């Protein structure tokens, strides 16, 4: 694969860049999985669980705000190199390593007040570092290549290795940490993770630089117009939010295992069964998108989620082998969401650029990250609220009232199915972009085809070409 511009494919990335991008995702999520054990570490050094829940609330509020702020910074700041994403990722990569070590270096002998201050300050720095690299990471493929199929391949491989990184951390950390302690384990995790992330810093290239696009500085007013006009971005963010906030499986799995199946160990089995389709779908997406539009693949996946969830509810939880089979079917929908949905954001960036003349990829991907964090916070509250509504009684080994098992089974199976069904309806009636139309827009945005040629191509492939062209700036 050559790094050059041509009339058919535009800019393309090298095979080494493909591998480096996947390795970066592996390292990022290997480290992120370890950072997820922070509450356990804080309680281990002597702070109570209630205090931990309270003090982590402040960083979480900052967490929800800083993504959008940073997206604005990315789109407004013009660096001398002309690059938009890699410079921020380089800073974020190494600061993430340092702040991770800082998080797990809290001495157990200092006062509780100092521990609390240390946690809040170090977590805010950690999260700022993560934001600095995460939003640009998702946006980077749009600057590496103008070929939509190649962009899909890069992103899907990244998501695949992200899941592999998380799974590896989940398998290795429980074995290593008890022997080496928190701080030593943190240092090892950081070294391994950063080593996997460095190749992209050295070999990654932004071929679509700010200079190439002749982008002026974006004002706040222009950003507002961009977001108002780019309805396709808002639709995808809404779909991602609905699927995520109704995806209660991860939160409720331990309760389902205890109450419905009578064994907490079943929770691990459910998680593994759900993860396997995600890995398979992520591995197959590049090949499948060569023959099928990713929109169609996404909708089919969500249909599998709806059918699997409804059948699981009707079957009941007594037949475990059948539940396992239906869990695999249901998980295909979540797998499609976890891999393909993120690719739509890059497509909406091209659409927004085509309509407004403004390429606000930074704010687009920052809003994606913000949406992900918001739904992750809300799904826990929604799950616990639903448990209370069906009469669930708190306490380990407590005998639950009659009807709780059936109630929790209904929530566990039907709520995700409902979310997927709503997402399907929104996509079918409101989301208009397809791979071939986005490719045309990308070529026009790069100056490879004229406005007239783009409009002519879209008139054949995209029913709303006239509407799109009407909003496009010369």
Mean pLDDT of the chain: 79
Q: What is the pLDDT of residues 234-293, one digit of tens each?
A: 999 999 999 988 988 877 777 788 888 887 667 667 767 777 777 777 778 778 888 899
Write out the two tokens for 407: 């109630």
Task: Return the DSSP state at 35.
Answer: H
The pLDDT of residue 394 is above 70: no
Q: What is the pLDDT of residues 18-41, one digit of tens each?
A: 999 999 999 998 998 888 777 668
Confidence (pTM): 0.66
Tracing tokens 């100056």 back to the chain, one arrives at 447
Q: What is the pLDDT of residues 144-193, one digit of tens each?
A: 887 777 877 888 788 788 888 887 887 777 778 878 888 999 999 999 99
Question: Helix-strand-coil percent breakdown of the chain, rounded to 5?
Answer: 80, 0, 20
Of 21-35, 47-61, 220-234, 334-348, where does the model show the most confidence? 21-35
Query: Where are any strands of DSSP class E within 207-330?
Result: none
Out of 85-89, 268-272, 409-413, 439-443, which region has the weakest mean confidence (pLDDT)? 268-272
CA distances from 43 to 39, 161, 175, 474 (A): 6, 31, 19, 59
- Check: CB of residue 262 under 8 Å from CB of residue 318: no
CA distances from 334 to 306, 347, 473 (A): 10, 20, 38
Give the list of residues 6+ apart from residue 48 with CB closer than 8 angstroms, or none.
Answer: none
For the four alpha carbons of 38, 411, 281 and 15, in that order, the dihedral sign comes to: negative
């Amino acid at each position: 694969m050559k790094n050059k511009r041509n009339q058919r494919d535009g800019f393309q990335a090298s095979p080494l860049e493909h591998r480096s991008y996947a390795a970066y995702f592996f390292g990022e999520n290997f480290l992120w999985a370890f950072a997820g054990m922070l509450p356990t570490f804080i309680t281990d050094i002597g702070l109570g669980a209630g205090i931990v829940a309270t003090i982590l609330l402040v960083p979480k509020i900052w967490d929800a705000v800083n993504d959008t702020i940073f997206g604005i910074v990315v789109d407004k700041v013009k660096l001398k190199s002309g690059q938009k994403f890699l410079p921020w990722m380089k800073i974020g990569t190494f600061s993430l390593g340092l702040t991770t070590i800082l998080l797990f270096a809290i001495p157990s002998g200092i006062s509780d007040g100092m521990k609390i201050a240390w946690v809040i300050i170090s977590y805010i720095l950690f999260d700022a570092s993560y934001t600095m690299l995460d939003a640009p990471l998702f946006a980077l493929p749009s600057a590496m290549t103008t070929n939509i199929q190649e962009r899909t391949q890069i992103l899907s491989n990244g998501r695949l290795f992200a899941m592999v990184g998380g799974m590896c951390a989940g398998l290795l950390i429980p074995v290593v940490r008890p022997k080496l302690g928190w701080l030593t384990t943190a240092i090892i995790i950081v070294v391994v993770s950063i080593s996997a992330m460095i190749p992209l810093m050295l070999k990654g290239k932004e071929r679509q630089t700010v200079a190439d696009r002749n982008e002026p500085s974006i004002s706040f007013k222009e950003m507002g117009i961009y977001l108002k006009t780019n309805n396709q971005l808002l639709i995808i963010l809404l779909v991602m939010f609905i699927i995520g906030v109704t995806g209660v499986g991860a939160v409720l799995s331990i309760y389902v295992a205890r109450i419905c199946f009578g064994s907490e160990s079943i929770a691990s089995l459910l998680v593994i069964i759900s993860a396997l389709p995600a890995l398979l779908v992520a591995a197959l997406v590049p090949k499948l998108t060569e023959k099928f539009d990713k929109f169609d693949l996404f909708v089919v996946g969500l249909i599998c989620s709806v059918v699997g969830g409804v059948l699981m509810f009707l079957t009941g939880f007594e037949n475990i082998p059948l539940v396992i089979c239906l869990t695999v079917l249901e998980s295909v929908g979540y797998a499609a969401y976890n891999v393909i949905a993120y690719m739509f954001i890059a497509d909406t960036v091209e659409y927004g650029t085509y309509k407004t003349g403004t390429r606000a990829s930074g704010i687009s991907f920052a809003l994606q990250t913000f949406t992900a964090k918001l739904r992750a916070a809300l799904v826990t509250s929604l799950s616990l609220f639903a448990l209370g509504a069906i009469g669930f009684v708190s306490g380990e080994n407590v005998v639950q009232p009659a009807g709780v098992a059936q109630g929790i089974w209904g929530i566990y199976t039907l709520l995700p199915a409902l979310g997927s069904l709503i997402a399907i309806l929104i996509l079918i009636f409101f989301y208009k972009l397809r791979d071939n139309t986005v490719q045309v827009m990308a070529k026009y945005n790069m100056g490879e085809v004229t406005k007239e040629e783009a409009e002519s191509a879209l008139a054949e492939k995209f029913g709303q070409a006239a509407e799109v062209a009407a909003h496009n700036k010369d």
